[in-house]
Amino acid sequence: MSTRAGPPELQVLGLLAMLGLGTVTLTYLLWQLPLLSTGGRAHPQGGPAGSWGLGSSLAWEPLGGEPQQQPQKDSCRLNLVESIPQDLPSLTGSPSAQPLAQAWLQLLDAAQESIHVASFYWSLTGPDIGVNDSSSQLGEALLQKLEQLLDRNVSLAVATSSPTLARKSTDLQVLAARGAQVRRVPLGRLTGGVLHSKFWVVDGRHVYVGSANMDWRSLTQVKELGTIIYNCSRLAQDLEKTFQTYWVLGAPEAVLPKPWPRNFSSHINRFQPLRDHFDGVPTTAYFSASPPALCPSGRTRDLDALLEVMGGAREFIYASVMEYFPTTRFRHPTRYWPVLDTALRAAAIGRHVRVRLLVSCWLNTDPSMFPYLRSLQALRSPAANVSVDVSSSCQWGTTPTSRSAG
Ligand SMILES: *[C@@H]1O[C@H](CO)[C@@H](O)[C@H](O)[C@H]1NC(C)=O
Ligand SMILES: *[C@@H]1O[C@H](CO)[C@@H](O)[C@H](O)[C@H]1NC(C)=O
Ligand SMILES: *[C@@H]1O[C@H](CO)[C@@H](O)[C@H](O)[C@H]1NC(C)=O
Ligand SMILES: *[C@@H]1O[C@H](CO)[C@@H](O)[C@H](O)[C@H]1NC(C)=O
Ligand SMILES: *[C@@H]1O[C@H](CO)[C@@H](O)[C@H](O)[C@H]1NC(C)=O
């Protein structure tokens, strides 16, 4: 990873992941962070962890950086995008990622020929769930925009999970009636999972990857994080290969290819990442995927990408997740699966990496998670220079007995 000469610079390891199901992860390393813009400054101490959405993590480390190079024309441009729930106005504007709805509409404005969307489910209108609320308007505007693009002969291909969570939604019928191609991917039958990826490839040049579902609530009600990379054909065409794996599996009577044909192979991975200038900043990046059955040759697996990022952390790991279970969640009987938990503990204890874990607290939070949070937090030891901070607005830190008293 470049030379070790020269003055130390900051390195960002960025990661967007939803583990275990059909997913895609982007890992990117940026040198010279300030251009990434959290008000123009990096925050190696009090980083932006508290504002980061589902399944994301960040770590900085000092690195012997490459000499600063001139920004190049027509190279990749990376924007962080996020959604902050409308009823959390105190978070608005802190820090400064672009609002997701605005970013999506802008990306669609750039579309000239084709839009490929990998999605878990679609539910862009309020009536889908019997809601008449102004906060569904952004989702409805997005659906309208896609209809307009179809009318302008921009092609739209959608791969989505089957069966769907949103059985009452008519979004995909509306779009298909205007010419969209839709494939429902039965990953349950093929791999025992769901298609959980959320990404777009636009014109084979621009890419969106993030946590947001094609759901109006992702635009106004849910904390989401993502990234849009403009003008980055090599990455976009690589991600398109993953889209094509879903597309093939969404065909009638599809079976899992073993192995995948050679034209699905990736040449951009953790051993050979893309090396380019993002906004003029020397950057390496690659996409990983899961499950392994959906990783043709050359595709890094999500788990290996996560372990590489965590194992490479030298200063801190800030992670934001919906839930934290070192066990299987969907396979019964429950099995212990401590691989990522172990990597976090190894970083905190073995390398004195500062670990901060932010865990969602919502209606579906399963309290059987709390012992694992307490177990991780228990490692904290200023005397041994072990820094672990677990944060969640759930009452995870108290014992179940005292909790039920509250
Ligand atoms: C939704 O609510 C608005 C304002 O409260 C009302 O004018 C409109 O008729 C309602 N629409 C439906 C379909 O109920
Ligand atoms: C879209 O394609 C159809 C069929 O080729 C054509 O008739 C129509 O004029 C095109 N519309 C636009 C806006 O280009
Ligand atoms: C992408 O590159 C084109 C020129 O090739 C430029 O006109 C356009 O503004 C760029 N888009 C972004 C979002 O940077
Ligand atoms: C590989 O080739 C097959 C047959 O031509 C095609 O159906 C498939 O979409 C291609 N895959 C990719 C990733 O382009
Ligand atoms: C604690 O660990 C950090 C990170 O490795 C290191 O920078 C610091 O010097 C350590 N402090 C002590 C007192 O060992």
pLDDT tens digits, one per residue of 216-236: 999 999 999 999 999 999 999
Q: Which of 149, 153, 155, 156 has most ligand 2 atoms within 8 Å of CB, for mutation?
A: 153
Q: Which atom of ligand 3 is nearest to the CA of 77?
A: 14
Instruction: Please name every residue paired with 117 in a beta bridge, in sequence order, or none if there are none.
Output: 158, 200
Does pLDDT of 102 surpass 70?
yes
Give the residue carrying structure tokens 């109006």: 216
Helical spans, DSSP H, in 152-301:
171-177, 187-191, 216-220, 233-249
pLDDT tens, residue by residue, 59-83? 222 233 344 444 444 589 999 999 9
**Structural Rg of the chain based on CA atoms:** 21
pLDDT number for residue 217: 96
pLDDT tens sequence across 337-351: 999 999 999 999 999
Model's pTM, two decimal places?
0.84
Q: Name the band, by pLDDT with cuts 50, 70 and 90, for residue 92.
A: low
Average pLDDT value over all residues in the chain: 83
Q: What is the pLDDT of residues 160-202, one digit of tens each?
A: 999 998 989 999 999 999 999 999 999 999 999 999 999 999 9
The CB density around residue 349, as the number of other CB atoms within 10 Å, is 16
**Nearest CA residue ID for atom 1, ligand 5:** 385
pLDDT for res 399: 56
Beta bridge mates, 200: 117, 208
153 lines ligand 2 (CB under 6 A): yes
Nearest bound ligand to the CA of residue 149: 2
Q: How far is the CA of 151 from the centre of ligand 2 (A)?
A: 8
Q: Which residues line ligand 5 (CB under 6 A)?
A: 352, 385
Please name the helix (run of DSSP H) or strand (run of DSSP E) that holds residue 372, with its range, or none.
helix 370-377
